[in-house]
Structure formats: C-alpha cells, structure tokens
Structure 1
Amino acid sequence: MKTDEYILPLYNRLDIAFIKGKKSILYDENRKDYIDFASGVGVNSLGYANKKIVKTIKKQAKKVVHTSNIYHIRPQEKCAKKIVELSNYDMQCFFCNSGAEANESAIKLARKYGNIAFNTPKYKIITIKNSFHGRTIATLKATAQEDKHKYFAPYPDGFIYANDINEAISMIDDTTVAVMLELVLGEGGIFMQDIFEVQKLEKILKEKKLLLIIDEVQTGVYRSGNFLISQYFGIKPEVVTLAKGLASGIPIGVMMTNLKNVFSFGDHGSTFGGNHLSTAVCNKVLEILEEYQNSGKLDENISYFNSCLQYFVEKYPKIFLQKNGFGFMQGLVLKDEKNLNDIVNFALEKGVLVLKSGKNIIRFLPPIIISKKEIKEGFQRFEDAILNLSYIKKEII
C-alpha cells in the first residue's frame, strides 16, 4: 500500500520511516536502531528526546505558541541578545523560519543598501561555484549550480558566479553590492574556503564599502566547534545567516547584520518568524550548547571524529581520496562516484545514517552532542557497510 499517495514526489526517499529517537540514535518502525550521522541535515543539534527541550516545549505550549511580530515577543528579544553575544559581532537580528528565508532577507537588505548608500545604485551579488543558498526563486538563483536553475526562469537579475574567491574579487564592478559566501560548502562538496583568501576578500569589500554576506545556515551553531565558523576566519562580515541547528528541529532562521539603519518599518517581515515557541526552544538549545562547548567535550569529540574519518582515508585508499570539511561538518571524497549510492544504502542497512554532497562525497553532520561511544559504534557500522562493496569483498576473500 502506498503511504504517500497524497504527497508530491519531490524527494527520492529512502525506504524507511523513523518513529522515535534518543540522544543520537533513531529507531524505525521495526524497532531497529540507527546511529545518526545526519541529524536531519544538520538540524537536530541536540539529537532526539532531549529532556530539557521536551520540558521547554511543553512549558511554552501551555503559555503561548504564537502571537505575531505586531507585538513584543520576550523570548525573541532574549534570543537575539544571546545570538549576538555568542557571535561577538555588533549586530541586530531578524527572525524567520528557514535558511532560505534568512538568505532572502540578506539579499533584500543588500539590495536596499545598494540603493541608498551610493550615488549610483548597486545591486549585483557574487556567489561561488557549487554554493547552495536556498530554494526560493531568489536564493535558487543565488545558488551557483546551473543544473538547479532549469525550469524556473525567469529569475531576478543581479546574481553572478565566480569559480573561486580570487575570481570573485576580479568580478567586482560598479554595480556590485555584495559577495555571498559559504565558508564550507554544504551541498556543494564540503569544500572549505582558504582563510587568507577570505580575509583578502573582506579587506577589499570594506575598502569599497561593499558587503560580505556569510551563509552559516549549515556551518553555524557550534557545528565547527565555535558558535560561528566565521570566528575561526577572523573576519567581521556585515551580514550572517543562520538556521538549521538553532532550535534542534523547531523551524527557525535568523539574518543578523551590523547594518542597523537600512531596513525601515514594513520593508520586510515574517508571520511566524521568531514566535514564542521557536525562540523559547532556541534559548534553551543555545544555553545547553554553550555549556557543552565550555566543558571541553565538544572539542574532544570533534577530535575523535576527525581521527575516525582519517582512519578510513588511510585504510581504504582505493575507495576514498581524502576527507574534507571542518568540525562536525565533514565529508569523505570517493575515488569513484558510482559508489556513492551504494555506500549510503549499505550504511542504512548496517544501521548508520549518512548523507550525500555533490557527486562523490559522503557527508557527515552528526548531532553536536553526539557521544564518543555513539561515534565509535557509528563508524564500526560504517566500516561494515564499506566491506559490502563487491571489490572490497573480493580483496578480503
């Protein structure tokens, strides 16, 4: 019996449904358990059934879930203050519901800035090849992957694509207002930008009074070890976007900026953005993760995770070229892209969830609070999956 006959076929779903979770483990309808190295594509930062989050949701739901931004929302104000403090940037926040919406907000902010800050309006935004910024019409066009642009034209003008940061610098002209950048490409291959090139770009943009927009939708909220990966790069962007891990499964997005006087009343908004429930949960998530980072456990477990990935690169050179990424956002690069689907499916059979990135990368985005025991068990299962590849089996025999 088809169970999704009333759902549009937009996802090539794996044949599995989960019914509950605990910490970094999920359970399917047959009660089989899975170590989660995917965390809902980087969303479930605290894993599953965290008692403090469950309590927070229940407590807030008994009070008020939503009123709209027509009125003051105290949990939102507290959340904005905490996000700004953790970022160490002098910024203000706009709350929405997703990463795409956060990036859409950043694009609108940049466009208005370009219209009011210069004698001749500037509107062009440069993005980097294989970036991913969302699925709305504007953020899809900002995404520098031509194969994702089919069928949905005409698009808004003003987005151009550079192969790398140095080319982006060379493309800056009199109509450019901003460069939008993922410091680690998420969907585009877990490729980390060069720190010195990013710093060079920032310096040039500041000299020209142009904007650096950093998309931290996937890299943010301690996935790198710090609250923001941009903190490692030693930069001060004008705009940062966040989403995924902020509320560990409750929809939320944030566009934060030091351009505090560009937007005016009515320029932008969101019905659901930053409501009582999402920001109450976000406050608790940030409290838990800040304490976790301060304890030293996060750095310790990221180091262990790194060593496990390096083990696979060294032990299976016929399968993997290298590991890419940073912190708890990493990938194993396959020598043969034909193995990508097999490894993901074999891993599922063995009880470990991994993701794809690009055409030849196994992506790992575990919950931020994943334990060393869960990491060890997950990679043991992953190795069992690797051993299912036919040519590896022959070598063993």
Structure 2
Amino acid sequence: MAKHGFKAIEALDITYVLPTYARARVAFVKGKGARLQDTQGRDYIDFGSGIGVASLGHSHKALQKALKKSAKTLIHTSNLYYIEPQAKLAARLVEYYKRGDEGKPNTQKSDKSKWRVFFGNSGAEANECAIKIARKYGQKDGRYKIITLDSSFHGRTIATLKATGQDKFHKHFAPFPDGFVRAKDLSDIPNKLDSETAAVFIELVQGEGGINALDKKQVQHLAKILKKQNILLMVDEVQSGIYRSGEIFASKVYGIEPDVITMAKGLAGGVPIGACMTRLIDVFESGDHGSTFGGNFLSTNAGLAVLKTLEKMRKDRTLESTTKYFHTKLDSVLERYPAVFSKRVGLGLMCGLQVRSEEIFSQILSACLRHRVLVLRSGGNVLRFLPPLTITKSEIDEGFTRLLCALKELKISQTQKTAQKSKNPK
C-alpha cells in the first residue's frame, strides 16, 4: 500500500505540479510483469507500458540487477570522461543494426560499419540531435530544410514541435525555427524537394498519428529518390524501435538503410534515455552537441540489460509468438464489435483498433479504467496498444477479458446496433 492514500497524492499533485497532463484518477504503487497495483491494492493489466517505455514490463529481474549494480558502483560521472557501458551499448546497437535478417553478421558491402551513436535523455533530445546533424550536413551547400509528414510527432521542444505535423501541438508556441516543410503523405514528399532540402524525417509507424504504418514499397521508393539527390533520410523510431516492430529497428522491417535513426522509449525499460545513431560520423566535432546526463552509467547499464533480454526473445521467437497471439486477440475484438471498430492498424506490438466514433471512444477509455485494463489513445480515433514486450499469454488473456467486459458497457446507438447485428448475427 502507498504511504499516502490516493486523495493525498492527488492533492499534492494539484497543489504543486504544473497542470500539463489530463491524468486518470489513479496512482500506482508497484508492478510486476504486465500488472500494476494502485493505492487501493487493486490490480490492472497494463496494455500501455508507460507509453511504450516499460519494454520488459515492471520489476523485471534483469533490469533490477543492472540498476542495483549501478547504484552500488557508479551512476554518473558526466561525458567529460569515458563511460564503459555507454561505449558497450553503442557497440551493441551498431552490431545489431549490421546483423543480417537471420541474426548473422551482414557480409554485404555497406556503410553500416561506420555508424556512431549519441546518447541523450529522451526522444525529443534524440530528434534534436538528428535535426542538428541535418543542418550541419547541409550547411556546406546551402541546404537546411527538413521535410516531415502530416500527422507526425517528433517531440515537444521548440524545434521538434515545429517538425511535428499536427497543428494542435503548435498553438501558443510560435514563432518557430524556419526550415521545416510539411508534406501530406509519402507521395507528396518528392513535390517538396528543392535545392535547399537537407533531409526528410519520417516515422515508419506514426505513434501519435493513429498508429499508421507507412507503406513499405513507398518508403523504399522514397529512399532511392533521396539517395540519388544526396538528401538525408532520417527515421524517428522513438516509439517503433527496440523490438516493438518485431526487429530491433523498424527500418530493418522496411528493408531500408537510413542516414540517421533515433530511438528512446523502450531502450532502457523505464530509465530516461534517448539515442541518435548515424552513419555521418564526420559531421559533428567536439563541442557541437552534448548532454550532461545522456548516456550515464545508470541508463546505459539498463539499456544493455534490455537489449540482452529482448534479443534472446527475438532469437527464440518468443517475441514473434507473443505478437501473433496479441494480434489474434485484437482481431477477435474487431470481429465481435464491427460497429465500434473498423480495422486493426500498426506493426508488431505497436498496434491499435480504429474506433468509428468520438462518442464511443470516450466511453471505451472510461470503461477500460473501471475494469482495470490500461489502454491508450492515438490520432484522435485509434485505441492504442503498447503492451510490455515480455507480456505473457495469461496476462494477455486477462487483459482482453477485462477489455471485453468494458466494451459490453458501451451505449451504442440503434443504428450502430443494427449494423453490428448484421455483421455479427450470432
């Protein structure tokens, strides 16, 4: 049980914390696997994993061991000195990127061996690093523009906010830095290219844009166009990376070789971290970029533990099996409630169900909380699922049992009921 009850915690928050979040009225005190416990001792199935962060679930032994080791030896010394686990984590990310599709080293000639990694504390910081790489790369021939997509989300700093292609995030914070150009979709990007374009920055699966997985062939075609014009392809894998797509990088699933890849959320299982990996190893010089906390002993030891655990799950196909089972459960919900959901979207364990109406969506979120299953919202009308990658089948079963109980409470209009009966007569 919590030292303070929920009302006391809520009162402290309201009194002292800036009101930047619309919080659900619950506070958690501990967790195990895909389960959380609140101040009242009630358990919840976590299908959100802290917005895709708790990749190993809660209280995972490998992560506990790594954090305990750092707490007993070193947590932080700053980047003025060499940091062994930081160097090891960078090496591991590059090595895994170089790996072939079957887990063996890739022997084809490529620039992959020349990759380097910068560590920060968040996805926004990783994306800021990518933006600075693009700006300095293009400086020599007057290129500075970066093209992003409608419905994209790249962070909440001023630069990454401008890179974000959703106007609702821009209100109140202008003026923004120049040089960001928005394209409607992948097919519109070539129309936006000009002599001042330095880079194209995309999410392969748009996390806040409706769990929209971009078309693979279109992405590959775009990559070829950019390579011919010497324009950088930068991929934001802050949410889709670190095995959430089924592979360590979603870029590998799409069969492309970007110039820059950013990652964060699931990399350290809950410890703040961000990483920007690039093949442009000569763009930055000492002093061009930095971070006080980025890549310290605590976060990079955590990252090593996460990668070791998830790589084992990839190799023994546990991750693949879990993903297929979770998709089967989503499809059964879709089949059972065709008047509520229109389709399944996403990739790997970054997936969702598209909801047909805003009215129903609001009901779903409140009903799920009552039945103690945590789900997320994306793109205005997508019920988003980002479960821990270590989630068990029994936890999945329990979560979907609760989800179905929540859906039974929905107040569906007569028109929707008629549509549902016609599609699901049983």
- Provide Cα deviations, 1:257-276, integer angstroms capped at 9, x if missing partner: 00000101100000000001
Aligned pairs for 1:310-329 (under 5 A) are 310-329=331-350
Whether 1:109 aligns to 2:118 is no
Aligned pairs for 1:14-29 (under 5 A) are 14-29=24-39
SS at match of 2:387: coil
Whether 1:233 aligns to 2:257 is no
Aligned to 2:60: 50
Q: Distance in 2 between matches of 1:347 and 1:11?
A: 19
Whether 1:305 aligns to 2:326 is yes
- Provide Cα deviations, 1:270-309, integer angstroms capped at 9, x if missing partner: 0000001100111111011101111111100100111111
Aligned to 1:356: 377
Q: Distance in 2 between matches of 1:123 and 1:303?
A: 42
Counterpart pick for 2:402 among 351, 371, 381: 381
SS at match of 2:329: helix
Aligned to 2:267: 246
Aligned to 1:85: 95
Q: CA deviation at 1:392?
A: 8.0
Whether 1:203 aligns to 2:224 is yes
Counterpart pick for 1:69 among 56, 79, 103: 79
SS at match of 1:3: helix
Aligned to 1:98: 122
SS at match of 2:174: coil
Q: Distance in 1 between matches of 2:66 and 2:248?
A: 22
Q: Distance in 2 between matches of 1:22 and 1:179?
A: 40
Counterpart pick for 1:334 among 348, 355, 360: 355
Aligned to 1:125: 146
Q: Distance in 2 between matches of 1:50 and 1:359?
A: 32
Aligned to 1:135: 156
Whether 1:292 aligns to 2:313 is yes
- Point out 4+ residue stretches in structure 1 off by more than 4 angstroms: 392-396
SS at match of 2:275: strand
Counterpart pick for 1:271 among 279, 289, 292: 292
Aligned residues of 2:375 and 2:385 also touching (Cα < 8 A): yes
Q: Distance in 2 between matches of 1:338 and 1:138?
A: 34
Aligned residues of 2:134 and 2:199 also touching (Cα < 8 A): yes
Q: Distance in 2 between matches of 1:344 and 1:379?
A: 14
Aligned to 2:181: 160
Aligned to 2:5: none
Q: Distance in 1 between matches of 2:236 and 2:299?
A: 21
SS at match of 1:379: helix
SS at match of 1:356: strand
Q: CA RMSD in A?
A: 1.3
Q: Distance in 2 between matches of 1:309 and 1:160?
A: 36
Q: Distance in 1 between matches of 2:218 and 2:252?
A: 15
SS at match of 2:321: helix
Q: Distance in 2 between matches of 1:294 and 1:201?
A: 31
The one-letter code matched in structure 1 to 2:144 is Y
TM-score after normalising by structure 2: 0.91
Q: Distance in 1 between matches of 2:344 and 2:353?
A: 5
Q: CA deviation at 1:3?
A: 2.5
Aligned residues of 2:360 and 2:412 also touching (Cα < 8 A): no
Q: CA deviation at 1:348?
A: 1.0
SS at match of 2:152: coil
Q: Distance in 1 between matches of 2:413 and 2:231?
A: 52
Deviating more after overlay: 145-154 vs 243-252: 145-154
Counterpart pick for 1:3 among 1, 12, 30: 12
Q: CA deviation at 1:238?
A: 0.1
Q: CA deviation at 1:391?
A: 2.5
SS at match of 1:338: helix
The one-letter code matched in structure 1 to 2:79 is N
SS at match of 2:358: coil
Percent sequence identity over matched residues? Answer: 50
SS at match of 1:20: strand
Aligned residues of 2:210 and 2:379 also touching (Cα < 8 A): yes
Q: Distance in 2 between matches of 1:38 and 1:71?
A: 37
Q: CA deviation at 1:197?
A: 0.7
The one-letter code matched in structure 1 to 2:130 is A
Unaligned runs of 5+ in 2: 1-7, 99-111, 422-426
The one-letter code matched in structure 1 to 2:268 is A
Deviating more after overlay: 168-177 vs 82-91: 82-91
SS at match of 1:391: coil
Aligned pairs for 1:145-184 (under 5 A) are 145-184=166-205
